[in-house]
Structure 1
Amino acid sequence: MNCFLKTGIAAGILILSAAGAFAGNGDTLKTVKQRGELLCPGHNGSYLGFAETDDRGNWKGIDIELCRAIGTAILGDPSKVRIIPLSWEQRWPSLQSGDVDIMIKASGGTLSRDTDLNMQFSNSYYLGTTRVLAHKELGLESLKDAEGGTICVMAGTSQEKQLTSYLQQIGIEMEVVAIERTSELEGAYFSGRCDTYIQWGPVLAVSRASSNDPEAHVMLPDIIALEPSVMLMRQGDDNWVDIANWTLSALLFAEQEGITSENVDEMKANPPTVEVGKFLGATPGMGAGLGLSDDWAYGVIKNVGNYSEIFERSLGQKSPYKMDRELTALWKDGGVLFPYIID
């Protein structure tokens, strides 16, 4: 073993040790306040609807918006967030080393990420389903009608395993075309090489909306699987997990109570309920236990908006992708999202 290799291994061990110490100290909030900036992940390219850049190079998307919401909760200003482009492979080393403060990157909560990588999760902020896109001209009403046809899938992914199980479940056989690169995978489907295309639902919706003829493709009703997207943090910092969860809850509570970026000043001046008054900082008690100001939630809604506002401009009807909320709707609208109770 040469000297350079030994040095590299030693440095790697030191980084991991430092990361563990950093996580165990539980000082993420203090670190962010001292730095005056929240470090969040972007994407090394564009993950449309979640982390992408506009024609001026400005970041947007639901993951970016959640980072700005947390940055506003802590520092009072959504501009005090620095987005660091990361690949999927860089997610966990970057979080563990402290290169980013929180991982909000369309990532699911899994057992191995909890127990092997020592991460903690927030509540789910997006409940994504694995779906199937089909050429409309085929007249398919469900995937079962596609028996004997071809289906494109990303090679080596959970979707490939899910597809195998689902085909067995509904009792049909299809020719599976597994391709590693997303661009080649989508090219194979849209060129007609595959009759159908299985992928995470939001990705399919974006792909369809970005195609030459969105109306030529339909989303089949089959729900192949479900994956909750969560915010991930290093273990050992419970207050940091609380801040992530309460920021998400604030976005959902505001939507539930009809508080928007446009009417939040009026709501704070004339709270309709005791809970809303406390939530917006008109009366004390919202921030001290978290290490934040009492009006932090007011600042989040004023500067970023409630969950519905974020969703609609990132993925929904005010975006190019025109996605419905589906399961990612509030409990009162037939979805599964809900806020914590303000007491």
Structure 2
Amino acid sequence: MTKFSKLIAAGSVVAAGLSASVAIAGHGDTLAAVKERGTFNCTGHNGSYLGLAEVDANGNWKGFDIDVCRAVATAIFGTHEGHVSFVPTSWAQRWPALQSGEIDAVIKATGWTIGRDGELGFQFSNAYLLAPTKVLVRKELGATTVADLDGGSVCVPAGTAQEVAMAGYLERIGTTMEFVVSEKTEESEAAYLSGRCDAFVQWDVQLATLRLKAENPDDHMILSDSIAAEPVAAVVRQGDDNWVDIINFTLSTLVAAEEAGVTSANVDEMRANPPSPSVGMMLGVTPGYGSGVGLSDDFGYNIIKTLGNYSEIWERNLGMDSPYKLERGVNALWQNGGVLWPLLIH
């Protein structure tokens, strides 16, 4: 269970519509409902967020968020096969869908902000990603940092957090750029790819997927500057602390397994001969890992055996084993210079 800063942003229209009638879950109600139904209803994605949630030509879901959903289902049922449903919704519809009980958790590239936490009355898990805002450029410009783009132009969707963050960053570093603003993200992407601007600013995940849309992806690179960062977390109904704990225990298990070197390939060996008491508990050899939140004590073993640790999920969906080749960056383990760390197990 990683502990990151807690921040996310919400639209005022949605806030107004939900604030007066936010569903409040009782202790343990969500877990009981999911178990009775036999299915964890997850995501709120519409299947078009490359790297995080995609639907292939055969109708199969994949992506980082999708695997997080599968991990939660596996924690509850021992396997995600037949026990997780990916409910497609628009960005705006995810809140009513959660409030009504249509979905049990929003796991949809959702930033944690004070507005969403306080005004909408939902509850957030610990962050499972820190999404840095970065800049994509053509290599032919010779730029290695944003400062090298002084006097150039940057494409950005109008009215977004990225537009505000980029303006503030340029002011801080004393660099001037012309903003080429479009109403929709797709229009800004098209403007960059067509050469109307020198750079494009967005989450690094989106930049990695945009790069693949270029005629020659190798002609483009993501600069090292981190313009801003947004913690990404799962969202649930307010009031069911046990349900939040289950999601947090799931997330922490993925990170703890990576930290301990436990993988889908060696988890049986580790379970047979645990290298430490904490690994023994995480894999269900020693009692007590899941019973306190209504899970089996081997839920950690089931997750790692089925889906792998955090690193395996990252590399498969976003990293070197994926088309996007996205470096871990700030989402590395704390001892590797990142922000990820698990709760202590004892």
Contact kept in structure 1, 2:19 and 2:119, CA below 8 Å: no
What are the within-5 Å matches in structure 2 for residues 1-343 of structure 1?
17=21, 20-21=23-24, 23-24=25-26, 26-79=28-81, 80-343=83-346
Runs of at least 4 residues off by over 6 Å: 13-16
Which deviates more, 165-174 or 262-271? 165-174
User: What amino acid does structure 2 have at the position aligned with 1:75?
Assistant: F
Q: Which runs of 5+ in 1 are unaligned?
A: 1-12
Which deviates more, 216-225 or 195-204? 216-225
Q: State the shift of 1:230 in Å.
A: 0.9
Q: Secondary structure at the match of 1:278?
A: helix
In the alignment, what sits opposite 2:7? none
User: What amino acid does structure 1 have at the position aligned with 2:130?
Assistant: L
Whose RCO is larger (CA < 8 A, sep 6+)? 2
**How many residues are treated as equivalent by the alignment?**
330
CA distance in 2, matches of 1:15, 1:222: 37
Please report the RMSD computed on the Cα atoms of aligned residues, expressed in angstroms: 1.9
Q: State the shift of 1:26 in Å.
A: 4.3
CA distance in 2, matches of 1:221, 1:307: 23
CA distance in 2, matches of 1:254, 1:62: 17
Report which of the two structures shows the higher radius of gyration computed on alpha carbons.
Answer: 1
Q: State the shift of 1:43 in Å.
A: 2.5
Q: Secondary structure at the match of 1:106?
A: coil
CA distance in 2, matches of 1:263, 1:278: 16
Q: State the shift of 1:148 in Å.
A: 2.2
Q: State the shift of 1:141 in Å.
A: 2.6
Q: Secondary structure at the match of 1:337?
A: coil
Contact kept in structure 2, 1:134 and 1:219, CA below 8 Å: yes
Q: State the shift of 1:25 in Å.
A: 5.3
CA distance in 1, matches of 2:91, 2:136: 24
CA distance in 1, matches of 2:315, 2:181: 33
Q: Which runs of 5+ in 2 are unaligned?
A: 1-16
Q: State the shift of 1:171 in Å.
A: 2.0
Identity of aligned residues (%): 56
Contact kept in structure 1, 2:138 and 2:198, CA below 8 Å: yes
How does the TM-score come out when normalised to structure 2? 0.91
Which deviates more, 140-149 or 196-205? 140-149
CA distance in 2, matches of 1:16, 1:56: 41
Q: What do residues 169-212 of structure 1 show as CA deviations (whole Å, max 9, x unaligned)? A: 12232221111222221111011001111111111111113322
Q: What do residues 153-179 of structure 1 show as CA deviations (whole Å, max 9, x unaligned)? A: 011110111122112212232221111
Q: State the shift of 1:14 in Å.
A: 11
CA distance in 1, matches of 2:307, 2:20: 35
> 1:263 and 1:25, CA in 2 relative to 1: closer, same or farther beyond 3 A?
closer
CA distance in 2, matches of 1:174, 1:74: 50
